[in-house]
Amino acid sequence: MFPYKIEADEAPFDVIVIGSGLAGVYTALNLDEKSRVLLVCKKSLLNSNSSLAQGGIAAVLSKEDSYDLHVADTMKTGHYENDEMMVRCLVENGPKEISQLLAWQVPFDLEGGELCLAREGAHSVRRIARCGDHTGRTVMETLIEKIQDRANITVLEYTTVTDILMTGDRVSGVGCINDNKIAAYKSRRVVLATGGVGQLFRHTTNDETITGDGFSLAQKAGLTLERMDAVQFHPTALFERGTSSKRFLISEAVRGEGAVLRDYEGHEFMTGIHEMGSLAPRDIVTGAINRLLLAQEKAHVFLDATTMTKDFFSKRFPTIYQYCSSIGIDVTQDYVPVVPCAHYLMGGIPVDDFGRTALEGLYACGEVAYTNVHGANRLASNSLLECLVFGKRVAEAINKEL
Ligand SMILES: Cc1cc2nc3c(=O)[nH]c(=O)nc-3n(C[C@H](O)[C@H](O)[C@H](O)COP(=O)(O)OP(=O)(O)OC[C@H]3O[C@@H](n4cnc5c(N)ncnc54)[C@H](O)[C@@H]3O)c2cc1C
Convert the pLDDT of each residue in 192-226 to its tens digit: 999 999 999 988 999 999 999 999 999 999 999 99
Report which of 325, 373, 318 is spatially closest to residue 91, judged by C-alpha positions.
Answer: 373
| 121 Cβ below 6 A of ligand 1 | no
In the chain the domains, ranked by start, together with CATH numbers, are: 15-230+347-401 (3.50.50.60), 231-342 (3.90.700.10)
SS3 of 238, please? strand
Residue 108 DSSP class: -
pLDDT category of residue 179 using cuts at 50, 70 and 90 = confident
Determine which residue's CA is closest to atom 17 belonging to ligand 1: 50
How long is the chain?
A: 402
pTM for the full model? 0.95
Question: What's the pLDDT tens digit per position in 316-351?
Answer: 999 999 999 999 999 999 999 999 999 999 999 999
| Residue 6 pLDDT exceeds 80 | no
| Residue 189 pLDDT exceeds 70 | yes
pLDDT of residue 368: 98
| Residue 8 pLDDT exceeds 60 | no
Average pLDDT over residues 277-286: 93
| 52 Cβ below 6 A of ligand 1 | yes
pLDDT of residue 245: 74
β-strands 117-118, 369-370: how paired?
A: unpaired
Query: Whole-angstrom distance between the N-terminal and C-terminal Cα of the chain?
Result: 27
Q: How far is CA 394 from CA 24, 28, 266, in A?
A: 10, 10, 49
Determine which residue's CA is closest to atom 8 belonging to ligand 1: 55
Average pLDDT over residues 149-153: 98
Average pLDDT score over the chain: 95
Ligand 1 centre to CA of 48 (Å) is: 5
CB atoms within 10 A of CB 1: 9
SS3 of 187, please? strand
| 50 Cβ below 6 A of ligand 1 | yes
Sign of CA dihedral 140, 141, 146, 151: positive
Ligand 1 centre to CA of 265 (Å) is: 36
CB atoms within 10 A of CB 267: 13
CB atoms within 10 A of CB 265: 7
Question: What's the pLDDT tens digit per position in 29-46?
Answer: 999 999 999 999 999 999
pLDDT of residue 7: 52
Determine which residue's CA is closest to atom 31 belonging to ligand 1: 21
pLDDT of residue 311: 97
Query: In angstroms, rounded to a whole number, what is the distance separating the alpha carbons of residues 28 and 41?
Result: 13
Answer for the pair 402, 14: CB distance below 8 angstroms, yes or no.
yes
* Annotated catalytic residue, options 119, 189, 282, 316: 282
Please state whether 255 falls in left (phi above 0), alpha (psi between -120 and 50) or beta. alpha
Using CB atoms within 10 Å of the CB of residue 114, give its burial: 0 to 12 exposed, 13 to 18 middle, 19+ buried.
Answer: exposed
Give me the phi and psi of 112, to 5 degrees please.
55, 35
Top mutation candidate among 383, 385, 388, 392 for ligand 1, by most atoms within 8 Å of CB: 383
Question: What's the pLDDT tens digit per position in 65-124?
Answer: 999 999 999 999 999 999 999 999 999 999 999 999 999 999 999 999 999 999 988 999
Average pLDDT over residues 252-277: 95
Continuous segment of H or E residues that includes residue 210: none
SS3 of 300, please? coil
Ligand 1 centre to CA of 131 (Å) is: 17
CA angle in degrees (0–180, nearest 5) for 35-40-45? 110
| 210 Cβ below 6 A of ligand 1 | yes
291 is catalytic: no
Strand ranges of the sheet holding 159-167, from the earlier edge strand across to the other edge = 159-167, 170-178, 181-186
Continuous segment of H or E residues that includes residue 302: strand 301-304
| 195 Cβ below 6 A of ligand 1 | yes
